[in-house]
């Protein structure tokens, strides 16, 4: 059976945040949630582009509502400001889709000294999730989706050099590190809060090969016309992870086609390295130290 948005349950009455929602699979995720009746906050680094995305969604005549709040995941002060602004304005949160990301840019660091891919793809989302977790846990059936990538397979995190200050920088390996970090985070979050400990369900997703702006610095962009899925289809794993009623938590959702590059969503297996529970726990502790955001005990 090919799962599509026609199989999604109503999201009426729910409030969702989608990071990086002004384009690509983030936009499609936000649009579909709004079509299903949710109140959706588009968390975007560029507020102007975020507002334009909201206007595009409203023109679709959706039954839900959309709004934009600025969020730069590479800036921990912006993450804190976003969390504060959201909680001041919205009384509930049912769904957090940690979607935003950067892929294989030249080496750079944030104001905190973090390598920019680890900062944006993992640490910023880690901090955002921790700050919003109390609001999520107050919901009757909260859910968190962490968007990873099939590139997690080239990830091999060195906790002694997380930000590539000692090694020669390889932007693709750094990208893979950030994407396997997403899976470590999802699994550890599930171990700490899922499995009936709280009402929270946590899952990860990857979009396969999807044509998006994420690839603007990538050598594969020229092949998109031959092989890549459109963003609406690349968003299906995220939407399934966000709304699939049979998920129990801890699953990884990706396309069902050849090599997981295209197709329709199903539960898939990450590589063996992504299942390293000890490394996931150590990365969690380091992430708390680096971001200053500490999760409550459960």
Residues 6+ apart with CB under 8 A from 13: 37
DSSP one-letter code for 8: P
Gap between the Cα atoms of 241 and 146, Å rounded: 9
Give yes or no for a contact between 169 and 107, defined as CB atoms under 8 angstroms apart.
yes
Angle between helix 76-89 and helix 124-137 axes, rounded to 10 deg: 20
Gap between the Cα atoms of 15 and 177, Å rounded: 31
Could you say which of 175, 184, 193, 240 is catalytic?
175
Pairing of strands 39-44, 265-268: unpaired
Residue 90 falls in the annotated catalytic set: no
Q: How far is CA 140 from CA 34, 36, 239, 250, in A?
A: 20, 19, 19, 19
How many beta carbons lie within 10 A of that of residue 282, not counting itself?
A: 15
Burial of 131-144, coded b for 16+ CB within 10 Å and e otherwise, reads: bbbebbeebeebbb
The overall longest dimension of the chain from CA atoms, in Å, is 52
Which residue carries 């905190």 as its tokens? 112
At residue 178's C-alpha, the angle toward residues 286 and 81, to 5°, is 70
Q: Tell me the residue length of the chain.
A: 298
At residue 228's C-alpha, the angle toward residues 225 and 234, to 5°, is 140
Q: Which are the catalytic amino acids?
A: 175
């Amino acid at each position: 059976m090919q799962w599509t948005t026609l199989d999604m349950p109503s999201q009426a009455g729910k409030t969702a945040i989608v990071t990086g929602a002004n384009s690509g699979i983030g936009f499609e995720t936000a649009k579909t949630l709004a079509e299903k009746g949710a109140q959706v906050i588009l968390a975007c680094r560029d507020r102007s582009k975020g507002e334009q995305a909201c206007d595009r969604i409203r023109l679709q005549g959706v039954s839900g509502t959309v709004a934009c709040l600025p969020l730069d995941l590479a800036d921990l002060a912006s993450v804190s400001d976003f969390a504060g602004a959201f909680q001041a304005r919205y009384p509930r949160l049912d769904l957090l889709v940690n979607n935003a990301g950067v892929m294989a840019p030249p080496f750079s660091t944030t104001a905190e000294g973090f390598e920019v891919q680890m900062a944006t793809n993992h640490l910023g989302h880690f901090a955002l999730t921790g700050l919003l977790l109390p609001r999520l846990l107050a919901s009757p059936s909260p859910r968190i989706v962490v968007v990873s990538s099939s590139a997690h397979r080239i990830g091999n995190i060195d906790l002694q050099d997380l930000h590539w200050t000692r090694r020669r920088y390889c932007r693709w390996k750094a990208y893979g590190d950030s994407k396997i970090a997403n899976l470590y985070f999802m699994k550890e979050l599930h171990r700490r809060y899922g499995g009936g400990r709280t009402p929270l369900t946590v899952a990860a997703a990857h979009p396969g090969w999807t044509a998006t702006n994420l690839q603007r610095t990538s050598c594969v962009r020229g092949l998109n016309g031959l092989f890549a899925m459109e963003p609406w289809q690349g968003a299906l794993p995220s939407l399934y992870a966000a709304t699939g009623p049979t998920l129990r938590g801890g699953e990884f959702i990706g396309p069902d086609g050849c090599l997981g590059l295209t197709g329709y969503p199903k539960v898939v297996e990450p590589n063996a390295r992504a299942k390293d529970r000890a490394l996931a726990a150590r990365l969690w502790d380091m992430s708390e130290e680096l971001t200053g955001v500490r999760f409550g005990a459960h």
